[in-house]
Amino acid sequence: MTDAASSSARITGLTTRILRGGLPRAWDGGVRANHVVAVDVRCSDGVVGHGFSWTPRIGPRAVRSLLEHDLAPWATGRPADPETLWDDAWAYLHEGGGGGLTTIALAGLDLALWDAAGRRARAGVPDVVGRRTSDVATYASGVNLDYELPDLLDQVGRWVDDGFDAVKIKIGSPDLTRDVTRVRAVRDVLGPDRALMVDANQRWDLPTAQHAIDTLAAFDLTWVEEPLRADDTRGYAALARTSPVPLAWGENGHHVHRFRDMVDNAAAGVRILQPNIVRVGGYTPFLRIALEAIAAGIEVAPHLLPDLSAQAALTLPAPTRVESIDGAWLGDLGLLSAPSPVRRRGTRLEVARAPGWGLTFRGQRPADAGASGDATAHR
């Protein structure tokens, strides 16, 4: 999908920096910030591509180390084509693990190479790949398990006022009665015609999940997300045999082969896949995952990072919803020095035509956001 010029250009260098973005309100568990490892990749034709790795709190320095000490020397001199490079890069890092920190680090390189391909073509990545739609639907979401009920209902009421027809809230309280009270109250605010999704964030074992889902199904749930540990394929298969609610999975899937296992294992019963573009290793594997899932009749709903997910969603052959989570947009976190190309139009997202991903991170010069960059500027 990238052009011939990408394959003729070579990588000449890679630099990184860690950016910390404070959350407007701490997430459950005391998470007060998200971290981005901004990645600049220089190419032999003078183009500089900008990418990033992302992690809320665990491992930003480890990710940066993998990029600078392992990926940078390995990638230097190789083709600046992300599709050509990705499999070899993943195989190279595999000694350190097939997914997790390795794929999060690899995403920074992959996204930067896609950004360079767009800048080289003086086009946005969705235009290089091919836009299939003009805008993308969203659903409202919040990290709100620790909210007191009035605060939760205020948040959901604001989403309704903003026009959202689908929302997601957190569940998984130690006492199921609390979850029931909250879900019932949220359903009352939403009414019968809006979609309600719930996310347990891997908090349950199988018996707990079976009982909780059976109980919460009374509130007409669109999906229950990550009821079990993401690694527990056997548990998902057992849960799917009895669950009256569709199961969603994927934000903690870390490589294409794990997603293929879940797609191919129909017994696992996952009907909505939620790959996180950074955690799976970048746009290259995300697109493979999404296309294979769609071909298998499974819905794809990208996890978080709407500034990136909305752009990727434009290139998919089936409609999807992108998660719009309160306070987690890159601009909301104070990580961007120029407006994101992803614009909110009511509850839908539009993507302006800007070179590459169109994302200018804090500390980048305005000239760095153009169609090409000065290869000496990042040394």
Q: Do 190 and 117 fall within a single domain?
A: no
Q: What is the pLDDT of residue 264?
A: 81
Instruction: Indicate which CATH number applies to the domain containing 162.
Output: 3.20.20.120
Q: What is the pLDDT of residue 326?
A: 82
Residue 108 falls within a domain, yes or no? Answer: yes
Q: Do 168 and 265 fall within a single domain?
A: yes
Q: Do 106 and 140 fall within a single domain?
A: no
Residue 310 falls within a domain, yes or no? Answer: yes
Q: Quick one: what percent of the chain has pLDDT higher than 90?
A: 85
In tens, the pLDDT along 94-139 reads 999 999 999 999 999 999 999 999 999 999 999 999 999 999 999 9
Q: Do 118 and 131 fall within a single domain?
A: no
Instruction: Indicate which CATH number applies to the domain containing 55.
Output: 3.30.390.10
Q: What's the chain's average pLDDT?
A: 92
Average pLDDT over every residue of 327-339: 92
Q: Are 323 and 13 in contact (CB under 8 A)?
A: no
State the Cα–Cα distance between residues 347 and 171, nearest whole angstrom.
24
Comparing 179 with 263, the larger pLDDT belongs to 179
Q: Do 167 and 309 fall within a single domain?
A: yes
Residue 141 falls within a domain, yes or no? Answer: yes
Among the ranges given (1-10, 66-75, 271-280), the one the predictor scored with the smallest mean pLDDT = 1-10
Asked whether the predicted pLDDT for residue 3 surpasses 70, the reply is: no
Q: What is the pLDDT of residue 267?
A: 63
Phi and psi dihedrals of 63, rounded to 5?
-60, -45
State the Cα–Cα distance between residues 255 and 275, nearest whole angstrom.
9
Q: Do 173 and 306 fall within a single domain?
A: yes
Enumerate residues 6+ apart whose C-beta is below 8 A from 72: 13, 14, 15
Q: What is the pLDDT of residue 28?
A: 85
Q: What is the pLDDT of residue 367?
A: 45
Tokens standing for residue 151: 């605060």
| Closest CA relative to residue 30, chosen from 57, 54, 55 | 57
Tokens standing for residue 103: 């794929």
Q: Do 100 and 187 fall within a single domain?
A: no
Q: What is the pLDDT of residue 7?
A: 64
In tens, the pLDDT along 335-372 reads 999 999 999 999 999 999 999 999 999 987 644 544 43
Q: Do 302 and 342 fall within a single domain?
A: yes
Asked whether the predicted pLDDT for residue 181 surpasses 80, the reply is: yes
Q: What is the pLDDT of residue 363?
A: 85
Residue 373 falls within a domain, yes or no? Answer: no
Residue 372 falls within a domain, yes or no? Answer: no
Q: Give the total number of structural domains in the chain.
A: 2
- Read off the pTM: 0.93
pLDDT band at 309 (very low <50, low <70, confident <90, very high): very high
Q: What is the pLDDT of residue 373?
A: 36
Residue 305 falls within a domain, yes or no? Answer: yes
Q: Do 96 and 207 fall within a single domain?
A: no
Q: Do 61 and 208 fall within a single domain?
A: no
In tens, the pLDDT along 255-296 reads 899 999 888 876 667 899 999 999 999 999 999 999 999 999
Q: Do 274 and 193 fall within a single domain?
A: yes
Among the ranges given (37-41, 167-171, 257-261, 347-351), the one the predictor scored with the smallest mean pLDDT = 257-261
Q: What is the pLDDT of residue 376?
A: 26
State the Cα–Cα distance between residues 33 and 287, nearest whole angstrom.
28
Q: What is the pLDDT of residue 273?
A: 95
State the Cα–Cα distance between residues 270 and 299, nearest whole angstrom.
9
| Closest CA relative to residue 323, chosen from 109, 138, 60 | 138
Residue 139 falls within a domain, yes or no? Answer: yes
Tell me which residues are annotated as active site.
170, 303
- Could you tell me the CA-to-CA distances from 303 to 43, 78, 117, 143, 257 in Å, in that order? 30, 31, 24, 13, 18
Q: What is the pLDDT of residue 379?
A: 27
Residue 337 falls within a domain, yes or no? Answer: yes
State the Cα–Cα distance between residues 111 and 217, nearest whole angstrom.
39
Domain containing residue 24 = 4-124+359-366
Q: Do 164 and 283 fall within a single domain?
A: yes
